[in-house]
Amino acid sequence: MLLSFLPFYPLISFLLIILLKKQLSWWQTSVLSVGAMLLCAITSLVLFNALNQAPDGVITSHLWRWFSLSDGDSFVSVNFSFYLDALSAVMICVVSCVGFLIHLFAAVYMKEDENFGRFMAYMNLFIVAMLILVLADNLVLLYLGWEGVGLCSFLLIGFWYQEKANVLAARKAFIVTRIGDTSMAIGLFMLFNALGSVNIVDVSELASAQWQLGNNDAYWICLLLLGGAVGKSAQLPLQTWLPDAMAGPTPVSALIHAATMVTAGVYLIARMNGLFILSPQVMNYVAWIGAITLLLAGISALVQTDIKRVLAYSTMSQIGYMMLGLGAGAWSAGIFHLMTHAFFKALLFLTAGAVIYALHHQQNVFKMGGVLKRLPFESSLFIIGLICLMALPGTSGFFSKEAIIGQLWSSATAGQALWWCAILGAFLTSVYSCRLFFIAFLGQERFSHPVTNLSNKGLKASLITLALLSLVGGFLVPDLSGVFVNTTQGVNNVVEPKWLHSVAIATPIVGIVFSWFYFSQYRSAEPNIYQQAQLKENQNPIVRYCFSGLGFDHLYELVFIKPFVFIARLNKRDVVDQCIMSITWYVGLWRDILVYSQNGLMRWYAAAFAIGLVCFIGGWLL
Amino acid sequence: MTAIPLEHVLILACILFSIGFFGVIVRKNTLFMLMSLEVMLNAVGVAFIGAGSVWQQADGQVMFVLILTLAAAEVAVGLALLIRLQQRFKSLDIDCLSQLKG
Amino acid sequence: MITRFASIETLFYLAALIAIIASLKVVTQKNTVHALLYLVVSLLAVAVCFYLMGAPFAAGLEVIVYAGAILVLFVFAIMMFGLKNDETKYAPQSTGLTIWLGPCLLAVFLLLALLLSFDSADIQQQLNATVISSKDVGILLYGPYLLAVEIASFLLLAGLVAGYHYAKPDAQGGHL
């Protein structure tokens, strides 16, 4: 029963705020939206506990029948019903708990904004869509939530729509993710066509019953679903929208573009694991896409100057880890990493937001410096986030990331090359984290304004809670054994070298030591040395290449946009349209003739009348 | 049965009708158009009377009486409209009334 | 001598010729009053034709209603338009014989034809044999054609009302 209420708390809050936006004060709006999220969070935790007692470890809730599909002679009804198992329970806990903390933060952070009500309403709507996505019992409902979060992402990236850059970023995010969504929709159609069902549980059962390993249908469907996941989760080749999406307010980046929405792709693949297992080739693609994205994003993050863009690339790279884990068959580890990543990345974004706010909306790290001394509270939380991101032993990131890396070597669908990629990625992660920390938080102060501290209790509480979750999240290992039954199916009998784990654990530390010396100039309090280092970095063409996200934007512009615009310009007058317009030309010709005859001169009418009569009688007589 | 052949009566009617009709078409002055209409109605009357006398039936004359009433009503309304036309456009040119053109 | 040639046919052709000439003149005249005079002659000629076709009742109606009443309506209308300058000429521009010479001439020929028909006993006999009396017409009108008569009376009433309404000046509440 509780389950069916879950998405309705934020929905009611959304409707109230959007309808009464003008009448509600800041206080009322905050209580409404944050209160709804608090209810959500409590309900999610209660449900998570209730799941232990539930039979089969599944709770379902049927709301109403949405519509029915005809499969030849039988009807398949698509229901508005929710399905809660261990996987979706983890997801709703992450969504509603992290969502609640971010809402709490946002209520304070966005207090000054004149469109505060609209902002909170969109945030609530996003939670509604995300919960529907996660809880969906069938793929059509999942797709509804999928599009809903895409819509909210669009609305929130372009929240400050007065600036053109934000609008362009929103548009880009929408269009790029739409490519993935289209592929996913085609995949769903094929799935329904092949299996005659859209219910997730049925689909998995039918697929494993009807299809052999490596079935051609399964291959294509999985590939198309992977296209959707790639678009939503900002993986290669549809990753270009995520860095631009940082144009939105920082809580949006934390909630949508770090903790929840971008992990929807990971969730989709995990949800459809029964299908993906049947197609090891696609699993291999998933792993490779994850690995390449994590390396590319890590390299791009190395040279960014905007603190939020660094975190955005870092998000891409971490999602790459999750994909890598899923591709390798390490389902639980992937979802575990999703959870811990939501904690520490939300923490990182929110503290970054607090720092940005304190420095009067300064996002350029080269204009920060010495923040550690001035903002010790925020900085220490940021450090916690960073060490989780770097996966230093004992933190939550360590447990989840090591769980992924540990299964790569002997996985049938991954292998040694991917293991090395993951290690290299971990190294890159710690290097860019250190660079960010050194430039922004150490060294000399390079900002002139006095800092404005956000000294609100609710804000601090949310940050501290997130920090605690990031630290101890590694011990909250979710038990997903009921969802992923076949995790050990594809293990190769490869002898793992003994040094594997030591190397994996040591990599981040090596990275830190390396950057301590390599970026020593950035730590320097001497302005001259610092400026030389910055200049050197700016003038390096490789750095500039990495700065633009490895030139994917230019590549896409060259390959897709330019030819498209060229063709559109060629076809400016629309050839097909002209064919259709010839009908109107013909009609127009007759119109002109008739207009000419309709001259309003009565004598002409009389003459025409007479001629007609003569013709008629003449014809009759003849 | 009269001495006058029906063909000749009908030819007369046709000639009168044509004259009236060309008057309607050619003249711009509405007054002349009305007079031409009278000529046309007369032509029709000639045809009816001729037919009536050929077959020795009174129906032809009945029809003529009806045409007469029609002509009277038509002239009354037509002349009233003509007065309005003259008042509004200061002219009797029928082509002034071309507001219904497409 | 003339009476020798006078038969119903020749008289009819004469009247028909006069009707055609007068009608042509109606259509081609520039002067409204001239045209009206020719119209009267044309109507009278048609009336003579009716008489010769054995329909004296119709001929009488033609003279009384057409040439009498309707034409008077035209004359009144022309008088109301006044003598203002216009591209068409309403009023007679020349005085003297030229106005009424043509109509008069035609009318005289008509009268001649009528008198000839009265004069010839042969013609009178023929006409009496074929005449359709006003009594027949009346019986028919108030018998089978009663409904048509009623409708015609309504038409006349409508013409009356419309004529009154349309011709009323704007100042007195008339509008169109």
Q: Is A579 on the interface with B (CB under 8 A)?
A: no
Handedness of CA A4, A7, A11, A13 (dihedral sign): positive
Position A296 pLDDT exceeds 80: yes
Q: How many other C-beta atoms can be found within 10 angstroms of the C-beta atom of residue A519?
A: 19
* Token pair 């509480």 in the structure block, residue: A461
Of A468-472, B85-89, C60-64, minimum mean pLDDT range: B85-89
Confidence of residue A71 (pLDDT cuts 50, 70, 90): low
Phi-psi region of A550 (alpha: psi -120 to 50; beta: other; left: phi over 0): left
Q: Report the distance separating Cα A233 and Cα A276, nearest Å.
A: 17
pLDDT of residue A90: 87
pLDDT of residue C99: 67
Confidence of residue B37 (pLDDT cuts 50, 70, 90): very high
Size of interface B-C (CB pairs under 8 A): 197
A128 compared with A495, residue with greater pLDDT: A128
pLDDT of residue C153: 93
Size of interface A-B (CB pairs under 8 A): 36
HSE, CB side, 13 Å, CA atoms: give it for residue A313: 27
Token pair recorded at residue C13 = 């052709």
Mean pLDDT of chain A: 84
Q: Three-class SS of residue C7?
A: coil
Tens digit of each residue's pLDDT (9 = 90 or more) over A192-250: 888 888 888 888 888 888 887 777 888 888 889 899 889 888 888 888 888 888 888 88
Q: Are A16 and A32 in contact (CB under 8 A)?
A: yes
pLDDT of residue C87: 43
pTM beyond 0.80: the answer is no
Of A215-219, A230-234, A252-256, A363-367, minimum mean pLDDT range: A363-367
**At residue A362, what are phi and psi to the nearest 5 degrees?**
-95, 115
Q: Are B66 and C152 in contact (CB under 8 A)?
A: yes
Partners of residue B98 in chain A, C-beta under 8 Å: 599-601
Position A492 pLDDT exceeds 60: no
From A486, A4, A500, select the one nearest A208 (Cα to Cα). Answer: A486
pLDDT of residue A557: 83
Min Cα separation B37/chain A (Å): 12
Partners of residue B22 in chain C, C-beta under 8 Å: 27
Q: Report the distance separating Cα B61 and Cα C62, nearest Å.
A: 11
* Token pair 């063409």 in the structure block, residue: A541
Q: Report the distance separating Cα B13 and Cα B47, nearest Å.
A: 6
Of A153-167, A485-499, A520-534, minimum mean pLDDT range: A485-499
Of A374-378, B63-67, C1-5, minimum mean pLDDT range: C1-5
Alpha-carbon distance values, A331 to A88, A227, A483 (Å) = 13, 19, 9
**Using CA atoms in the order C23, C29, C34, C38, what is the torsion angle rounded to 10 degrees?**
-10
Q: Three-class SS of residue A216?
A: helix
From B53, B55, B13, select the one nearest C51 (Cα to Cα). Answer: B53
pLDDT of residue A595: 84
Number of H helices, E strands in chain A: 30, 2
Confidence of residue B102 (pLDDT cuts 50, 70, 90): low
Q: Are A289 and A228 in contact (CB under 8 A)?
A: no
Q: How many other C-beta atoms can be found within 10 angstroms of the C-beta atom of residue A506?
A: 15
Position B18 pLDDT exceeds 80: yes
Q: Which residue is closest to B26 within chain A, CA to CA?
A: A603
Interface test with B, best of A601, A604, A609 (most B CBs within 10 A): A601
Identify whether A237 is preceded by a cis peptide bond (ω within 30 of 0). Answer: yes
B64 found inside a domain: yes
Q: How many other C-beta atoms can be found within 10 angstroms of the C-beta atom of residue A287?
A: 28
Tens digit of each residue's pLDDT (9 = 90 or more) over A4-53: 888 888 899 999 888 887 788 888 888 888 899 998 899 988 888 888 78
Q: Which domain, by its residues, includes B32?
A: 6-99
Position A411 pLDDT exceeds 70: yes
Position A487 pLDDT exceeds 60: no
Q: How many other C-beta atoms can be found within 10 angstroms of the C-beta atom of residue A134?
A: 27
Position B82 pLDDT exceeds 80: yes
pLDDT of residue A186: 93
Min Cα separation C78/chain B (Å): 9
Q: Report the distance separating Cα A111 and Cα A539, nearest Å.
A: 40
Partners of residue B33 in chain A, C-beta under 8 Å: 603
Alpha-carbon distance values, A132 to A92, A382, A488, C23 (Å) = 10, 32, 30, 92
Radius of gyration of chain A measured on its C-alpha atoms: 29
Between chains, do B84 and C77 touch, taking CB under 8 Å as contact?
no
Position C150 pLDDT exceeds 90: yes
- Can you give A148-215 as a three-state secondary structure string? HHHHHHHHHHCCCCCCHHHHHHHHHHHHHHHHHHHHHHHHHHHHHHHHCCCEHHHHHHHHHHHCCCCC
Min Cα separation B43/chain C (Å): 9
Partners of residue C155 in chain B, C-beta under 8 Å: 69-70, 73
Between chains, do A603 and B25 touch, taking CB under 8 Å as contact?
yes
From A433, A356, A420, select the one nearest A388 (Cα to Cα). Answer: A433
CATH topology of domain C2-130: Four Helix Bundle (Hemerythrin (Met), subunit A) (1.20.120)
Q: Report the distance separating Cα A301 and Cα A543, nearest Å.
A: 11
Share of chain A above pLDDT 90, in %: 8
- Name the maximum alpha-carbon separation found in chain A: 114
Q: How many domains does chain B have?
A: 1
Q: What is the ipTM of this complex?
A: 0.90
Share of chain A above pLDDT 70, in %: 97
**Domain map of chain A by residue range?**
279-539, 573-621
**Domain map of chain C by residue range?**
2-130, 133-176
Min Cα separation B102/chain C (Å): 22
Residue C136 CA from chain centroid, whole number: 23
**Domain CATH number, residue B10:** 1.10.287.3510
Q: Report the distance separating Cα A389 and Cα C73, nearest Å.
A: 108
Token pair recorded at residue A145 = 């939530």
